């Protein structure tokens, strides 16, 4: 599908990253990027209540923001991790996204201000992300949420953290803490060499040189790149992880790694749905005020979370309705029904529907 014309105009009007990334400090780039992100939203979406909370972490307090839906006592909780390459953004830049998710899903959303690189290298962000969800489970009564209905979610680098936290909880024997994970165009392998990384590495929002720069800021030691908590796709064993929804974008350099991760989860016996949004690039959800696909994706994510956290068990989200225009499910092996000319994912043709595979 061609690149969405609204998104093409957004890309055209966005200022490019400096030609020499070393000529500007990470802090200056962060400040400029945060300001651009905040300029997208015209007003705040109303929710039941909003409160800043102090999370107890192993290295000190972690700032977080709790959004509660209207008229729901002890709602489920979604612990959300913002994107930004581990270097940019905050609870402020993702305020409207979290408000919308809370309203649409009927769940409380706790957005975590984890420590950023390069000031805080790996695994600081992962530790903050994990400590936040553990604390939320322990402080559920204080927060007024259901301790048995907690999910993690995040976009881009935040999707990496959501996946890493799910792995870490399982490895610590606390796998029952997290009922579901939602990974939105996630970074799952910081040394990825899949085709989409190069096919869409220039001119499609997230550029390959910027991706390399983010990783350089995040890792203190290049050998950390193969640590599963930095690159969840490289984990040897994915059994015992919570059910997952993986959202990818057709023109995203990270597309293949997200879809491969969903395939590996399914192969490990974990219910996993992967949805590729056609005509979209990395980061498209943040433009939901202008992009229908962004609004559709947030609605899909909210519906998935609602089913996962209010279903009859950890595997509740096992099926999904047909996809609407502009999105298609991915996964599965080619069958005799596949038609010539259909776009292909890493494990078979893209079909004009969405399904759990």
Active site residue 4: no
Query: Is-catalytic flag, 63?
Result: no
With the C-alpha atoms ordered 349, 326, 247, 306, is the resulting torsion angle positive or negative? negative
Task: Give me Rg for the CA atoms of the chain.
Answer: 19
Is 306 an annotated catalytic residue?
A: no
- On whether the CB atoms of residues 86 and 132 are closer than 8 A, the answer is no
Output helix, strand, coil percentages for the chain, rounded to the nearest 5.
35, 15, 45
CA angle 159, 100, 140 (to 5 degrees): 70
DSSP label of 21: G
Let me know: does 69 contact 142? Beta carbons within 8 Å: no
* 3-class secondary-structure state, position 78: strand
- Residue 323, token pair as written in the block: 């996809």
Given 252, 263, 296, 306, which residue is catalytic?
A: 252
* Alpha helical stretches, state H, the chain: 5-13, 26-38, 95-105, 124-138, 140-143, 157-171, 195-199, 208-218, 255-267, 292-310
Instruction: Determine how many CB atoms are found less than 10 A away from the CB of residue 8.
Output: 15
Choose the catalytic residue: 128, 231, 282, 296: 282
What is the spatial distance between Cα 279 and Cα 288, in angstroms, rounded to a whole number?
14
| Nearest-angstrom CA–CA distance, 329 and 276 | 6
Task: Say which of 33, 156, 166, 196 is annotated catalytic.
Answer: 156
User: In the structure encoding, which two tokens stand for residue 197, read together?
Assistant: 């990384």
Q: How many residues does the chain have?
A: 357
Burial of 318 (0-12, 13-18, 19+ CB in 10 A): middle
What's the CA gap between 248 and 345, in Å, rounded?
11
Neighbours of 325 (CB within 10 A): 12
Q: 158, 132 in Cβ contact below 8 A?
A: no
Q: Which residues are catalytic?
A: 156, 252, 282
């Amino acid at each position: 599908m061609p690149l969405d014309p609204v998104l093409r105009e957004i890309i055209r009007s966005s200022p490019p990253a400096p030609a020499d990334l070393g000529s500007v400090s990470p802090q200056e780039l962060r400040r400029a990027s945060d300001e651009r992100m905040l300029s997208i939203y015209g007003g705040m979406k109303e929710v039941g209540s909003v409160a800043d909370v102090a999370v107890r972490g192993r290295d000190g307090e972690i700032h977080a923001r709790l959004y509660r839906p209207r008229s729901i006592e002890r709602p489920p909780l979604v612990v959300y991790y913002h994107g930004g390459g581990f270097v940019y953004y905050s609870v402020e830049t993702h305020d409207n996204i979290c408000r919308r998710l809370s309203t649409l899903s009927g769940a409380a959303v706790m957005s975590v201000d984890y420590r950023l690189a390069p000031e805080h290298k790996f695994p600081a962000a992962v530790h903050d992300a994990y400590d936040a969800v553990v604390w939320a489970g322990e402080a559920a009564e204080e927060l007024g949420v259901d301790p048995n209905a907690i999910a993690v979610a995040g976009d881009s680098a935040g999707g990496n953290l959501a996946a890493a936290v799910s792995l870490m909880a399982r490895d610590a024997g606390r796998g029952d803490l997290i009922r579901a994970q939602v990974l939105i165009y996630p970074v799952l392998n910081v040394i990825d060499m899949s085709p989409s990384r190069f096919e869409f590495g220039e001119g499609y929002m997230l550029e390959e040189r910027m991706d390399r720069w983010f990783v350089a800021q995040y890792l203190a030691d290049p050998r950390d790149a193969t640590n599963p908590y930095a690159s969840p796709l490289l984990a040897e064993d994915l059994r015992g992880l919570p059910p997952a929804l993986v959202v990818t974008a057709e023109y995203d350099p990270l597309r293949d790694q997200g879809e491969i991760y969903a395939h590996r989860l399914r192969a490990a016996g974990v219910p996993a749905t992967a949805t590729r949004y056609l005509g979209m690039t990395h980061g498209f959800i943040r433009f939901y005020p202008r992009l229908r696909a962004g609004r559709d994706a947030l609605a899909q994510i909210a519906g998935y979370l609602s089913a996962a956290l209010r279903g009859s068990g950890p595997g509740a989200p096992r099926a999904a309705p047909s996809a609407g225009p502009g999105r298609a499910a991915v996964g599965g092996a080619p069958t005799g029904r596949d038609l010539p000319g259909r776009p292909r994912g890493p494990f078979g043709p893209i079909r004009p529907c969405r399904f759990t595979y």
